[in-house]
Structure 1
Amino acid sequence: MRKFEVLQTLVNEKLVAVIRGNSPEEAITLTKGAIEGGITSIELTYTTPFVHEVFTAFKDSQALIGAGTVLDAETARHAILHGAQFVVSPSFSKEIAIVCNRYSIPYLPGCMTIREMVAALEAGCDILKLFPASNFTPSFIKSVKGPLPHVQIMPTGGINASNMNNWIDAGAVAVGIGSDFNRAYKDGGYEAVVAASRKYRGELSK
Structure 2
Amino acid sequence: MKKEQVLARMKEECLVAVVRAKNYEQGEKVVEAIIDGGIHFIELTMTMDEGNPVEFIRMMSDKYRTNDKIVIGAGTVLDPETARGCILSGASYIVSPGLNLETIKLCNRYRVPVLPGVMTPTEAITALEAGCDVIKIFPGNILGPAAISSFKGPLPQGEFMPSGGVDVDNVDQWIQAGAYAVGTGSSLTKGAKTGDFAAVTSKAQEFVAAVAAARGK
Tell me, in whole angstroms, the C-alpha distance in 2 between the residues paired with 1:188 and 1:202.
24
1:30-89 alpha-carbon deviations (Å, 9 max, x no partner): 111111110000100000241233223322412010000000010000000000000000
- In structure 2, the residue matched to 1:6 is 6
Q: Which amino acid aligns with 1:27?
A: G
Tell me, in whole angstroms, the C-alpha distance in 2 between the residues paired with 1:96 and 1:136.
24
- In structure 2, the residue matched to 1:202 is 209
- Greater shift in the superposed pair: 138-147 or 104-113: 138-147
- In structure 1, the residue matched to 2:113 is 106
Does the alignment pair 1:36 with 2:50?
no
CA RMSD of aligned residues (A): 1.2
Please report how far the alpha carbon of residue 167 of structure 1 lies from its aligned counterpart in structure 2 after TM superposition: 0.4
Please report how far the alpha carbon of residue 188 of structure 1 lies from its aligned counterpart in structure 2 after TM superposition: 5.0
Tell me, in whole angstroms, the C-alpha distance in 2 between the residues paired with 1:101 and 1:69.
18
- In structure 2, the residue matched to 1:67 is 74
- In structure 1, the residue matched to 2:56 is 54
Of the three residues 111, 132, 137, the one matched with 2:139 is: 132
- In structure 1, the residue matched to 2:188 is 181
Please report how far the alpha carbon of residue 182 of structure 1 lies from its aligned counterpart in structure 2 after TM superposition: 3.2
Does the alignment pair 1:151 with 2:192?
no
- In structure 2, the residue matched to 1:190 is 197
Q: Which amino acid aligns with 1:53?
A: E
Tell me, in whole angstroms, the C-alpha distance in 2 between the residues paired with 1:8 and 1:34.
21
Q: CA 1:150/1:161 → structure 2, altered by over 3 Å: closer, same or farther?
A: same
- Greater shift in the superposed pair: 148-157 or 186-195: 186-195
Structure 2: unaligned runs, 5 residues or longer: none
1:120-166 alpha-carbon deviations (Å, 9 max, x no partner): 11111000000001112212211211110011000000000000111
| Equivalenced residues, count | 206
